[in-house]
Amino acid sequence: MRSDAVVDVQRMVHGGVALARLDTGEVVLVEGAVPGEVVGVALERRKGVLRGTTVEVRVRSGHRVEPPEHPGLDYGHIAYEHQLRLKREVVVDALRRAFGAPKQDGEAEADHPDLPEVPEVAPSPQIWAYRNVVQPAVVWEQGAMHLGYRRSGTHEVVPLASDPVATAEVNGAYTVVQDVLTLATGPGRDGPRVREVVIRANQEGEALVALVGRGPAGAAVDLGHRLVDAGIAGVAWAESDPRGRFRRGVERVAGRRTVLQRFNHLTLSLAATSFSQPNALGAAALYLELTAWAGRGASALDLYAGGGAIAFHLADRFAEVTALEVESGAVARGRTDAGRLGLDNVTFVRGNAGRLDPPTGYDVVVVDPPRAGLSADVRDALVAGDFDRLVYVSCDAATWARDVADLHVKGLELRRVKPFDLFPHTHHVELLSLLERVP
């Protein structure tokens, strides 16, 4: 591929791309580059934004390393220690912009008087082989089925024999799935057409698989039993839907529904498609820090609670913990786990945090919303509450910065922030923050 332009790479920005400028001054967002490099890029305009793909490196950064084959690791070409520094810079920049003091190109970093210091990003306990759940796509080549991942912005699937960021237990199941699906599905065979696969495995090697494809669940029963016979603990089926993988629901077709995943001293029930932090060791460290920041008291409220990982960690610090979650399956698993763990002070309530009334009667509220962050209505409800401390966990620096800036000026001031790297070799960073009510 030829270079359409040669650019000086200035800095990383949110989303896993670097910022550069053409000779005309127009901004271009560059994939596959490291700040400080001079690179040749192939240009493409997407949704009004000029994007560049690095096709040659003319001046190489000392932080560049050989990238893995996995196309989804957008920081994979950067040495790990430098990844952490770049992620911190992105968080600082997001905060400055949200508080109205954007860093200009080439400007040295300076503290904003209203912002707490952002410390170094806490590294992942494992740099590779850390994910306990993966979602590869299916591709057929030369009569064999392969699992792999799509290149950014395309439908092209890069086949991989194994996943470098998946745990050994997940990769063991990954191989089983490839072998069984090659024999049971595909052209000329009666099995269902599988498009994607979700693979989850716990520390004991018990694996769950969810198959995503065309047709009803009944067509996947035989395939599910083949996978169970090959050592998979349980198999579910989800009919593919252009609106999202699981919009039409998930149905068990063979074996178990859940496995137990360990986080510190707790074991939680997870289905193949449950929302849970995929880096169990990194999440465990974050949860311990979170409980220390939350303090102690009579009552705590956990919003967007999922299956209760945060709520259960708060159980020995608060007399009562209420976990609010909209997804019925997560609520059911949470209630079952509370009974199994003997935590009768944790109560799961099914409800939509997006329609939150002002929380009253709590010492602390914890929020761990989806990537889109908190809606304006939820932020206003939190401000109208009477609790003293808000602990905010986020997986998106931009929406988190927007939210904490809004809450800060309305009376819940940002006091502390700590970034955690739960997704090495990607641009994602997990943020733990503490806000306190100002009289």
Q: Which residues are catalytic?
A: 395
Q: Which amino acid is at 145?
A: M
- Say how far apart CA 163 and CA 284 lie, in whole Å: 22
How far is residue 132 from each of residues 70, 158, 399, 410, 420, measured CA to CA in Å?
16, 21, 26, 39, 17
Q: Print the SS3 string covering the chain.
A: CCCCEEEEEEEEECCCEEEEECCCCCEEEEECCCCCCEEEEEEEEECCEEEEEEEEEEECCCCECCCCCCCCCCCCCECHHHHHHHHHHHHHHHHHHHCCCCCCCCCCCCCCCCCCCCCCCECCCCCCCCECEECCEEEEECCEEEEEEECCCCCCEEECCCCCCECHHHHHHHHHHHHHHHHHCCCCCCCCCEEEEEEEECCCCCEEEEEEECCCHHHHHHHHHHHHHCCCCEEEEEECCCCCCCCCCCEEEEECCCEEEEECCEEEEECCCCCCCCEHHHHHHHHHHHHHHHCCEEEEEEECCCCCHHHHHHCCCEEEEEEEECCHHHHHHHHHHHHHHCCCCEEEEECCHHHCCCCCCCCEEEECCCCCCCCHHHHHHHHHCCCCEEEEEECCHHHHHHHHHHHHHHCEEEEEEEEECCCCCCCCCEEEEEEEECC
